[in-house]
Structures are given as structure tokens and as C-alpha cells.
Structure 1
Amino acid sequence: MKYVVLIYNNPTTWQHPMFLQQSEPLSEQERAERTSEFQTLLKELTETGELVDSAALGDPAHSMALRMREGVLAATDGPFADVKEHLAGYFVLDCATPERARELARRFPDVRAGGVELRPVLDLSEIRM
């Protein structure tokens, strides 16, 4: 089953990779440890074939929201709200079990600096209209 790991971070302090940004600067050793953790995780995901796709998303200030209200399309440039966190990136994983997906999501270093959300991806071919 496929899962999406959504990476959230503070838009005022965001940098890539997300997990290296903190309210307090990281020591060189902490930066090296987190980078190593992430590289190890990516290597494992690639070798096992569980990594389907991933991307870092652009600054929310360059976003556009589109909404149709009463037949009128409204387009609004970002940033949209004074939020504590924004969606900074995602990873799509293909895991054999929900437990494996949770195990992998917990290992993203971003859980310490921002937040990680794990959600199953629906197979639209199974939905009957």
C-alpha cells in the first residue's frame, strides 16, 4: 500500500533540508548526525524499493490558492495565513504494512524540528462511482 509522508516546518525558519533548521542553531556534530540519519534512511528506502517519489515544495510566499465560490473563480497569491507550520515537502512510500510505514515515518529527522504526517494514499481505481 502507498503512503504519503508529509513534512511540515516553520515557514519563517524553513531551509532545506528541513530537519537542520531549529529555533536554536545545531552544533556541527548534531547537523552531521541528522544528515547521516537522513542519508541512511534514503539509502534504505531506495534499496528496498519503498521510495516511490519525493519533493521539497517551494516557499509558501510563491503559492496561489484557487477556489470556486458561487461560480466565480478566485485566485489568491500567498502567503495565505499567519501559520506556525507549512507543508514543506513529501515522500511517497510503498510499504507492505501500516506498521512498516509508521516505522519509516518515525525515522525522518523532521519529527524533531517540525512535524511529520503519515497518510495512506487511496487507490482511485477501487472507488466506484
Structure 2
Amino acid sequence: MLLIYNDPAAMKRLPQEEQDKLMVDVGGLMEELKANHELVGGDALAEAPQTRTVRVVDGAVATTDGPFVEVKEHLAGYIIVDVSSLERAIEIASRWPDAHFGAMEVRPVVDSISID
């Protein structure tokens, strides 16, 4: 799984043509992954203000607004790929535009949960 981290405020400060180029770059990479049958799935996530963090403290449910860490970068989305090696996953992550402005985390998926 490729976890996409970015700073939405920094992205919004980019000139529109740079924002447009980033979307074209993402589109090209997605087409490559589809053509190579490496794309399993993925989605963008809602912005951090729509996030709720839930903890159970001493048996009581505590819900707070926003992500659980106070950082500028937040988890913006994810891509699940089925690739032959860790090196290929790292190569894809390094080409993702957010790697240049935020970070990409490469993490193996250990197990799937089926919801019926």
C-alpha cells in the first residue's frame, strides 16, 4: 500500500498550472499502473478537518476533531498496488507527485478483512 501524505495548504499555494501538472502526472502514473495490471485500488481521503479520532480512555469513548497528530502533513489518500518487489513499490512511490511535496509511505498489506 502506498500511503500519500501532503500539506493541503502548501498544495493550494502552488500556481494553478503546477497543480494541473500534478494531476496530469498522477493520471499518467495511474494509467501506467492499470496497463501493467499493478493497480489494485485506491482513493483520496477527505481533508483533515472532516476527520474524527476515536479513543477509549478508562472505558469511556473520547472523540476529538481532526487527525490524531498535530502536523501540517496528513494522510490524503492511498493506492494499493500488486507489484513484484519492494523496489518497484518504492519506484512508483518516488514518482508520485506528493513525494516531492509531502511523503509517500510504502507498507505491505498483511491481511484483508472481508465485510459481508
TM-score under structure 1 length normalisation: 0.74
User: Could you tell me which of 70, 76, 86 is aligned with 2:58?
Assistant: 70
State yes or no: 1:8 paired with 2:43: no
State the Cα deviation string for residues 73-99 of structure 1 (Å, max 9, x = none). 212222655422111111111111111
The alpha carbon displacement at 1:106 in A equals 0.9
Matches within 5 A, 1:35-46: 35-46=23-34
User: Could you tell me which of 61, 81, 86 is aligned with 2:74?
Assistant: 86
State the Cα deviation string for residues 35-65 of structure 1 (Å, max 9, x = none). 3322221101111221111111112111111
Pairs aligned (count): 113
> Secondary structure, in 3 states, of the residue corresponding to 2:107?
strand
2:35 matched residue in structure 1: 47
- State, as a whole percentage, how many aligned pairs show the same letter: 41
> Secondary structure, in 3 states, of the residue corresponding to 2:33?
helix
Cα RMSD over matched residues? 2.4
Partner Cα distance (1:62, 1:34) in 2: 24
2:111 matched residue in structure 1: 123
Partner Cα distance (1:40, 1:50) in 2: 14
- Residue 102 of structure 1 contacts residue 118 of structure 1 at CA under 8 Å; is this kept in 2? yes
Cα 1:79–1:48 shift into 2, 3 Å = closer
> Secondary structure, in 3 states, of the residue corresponding to 1:99?
helix
Structure 1 residues not aligned, in runs of 5+: 15-20
1:102 matched residue in structure 2: 90
TM-score under structure 2 length normalisation: 0.81
- Residue 53 of structure 2 contacts residue 67 of structure 2 at CA under 8 Å; is this kept in 1? no
> Secondary structure, in 3 states, of the residue corresponding to 1:122?
coil
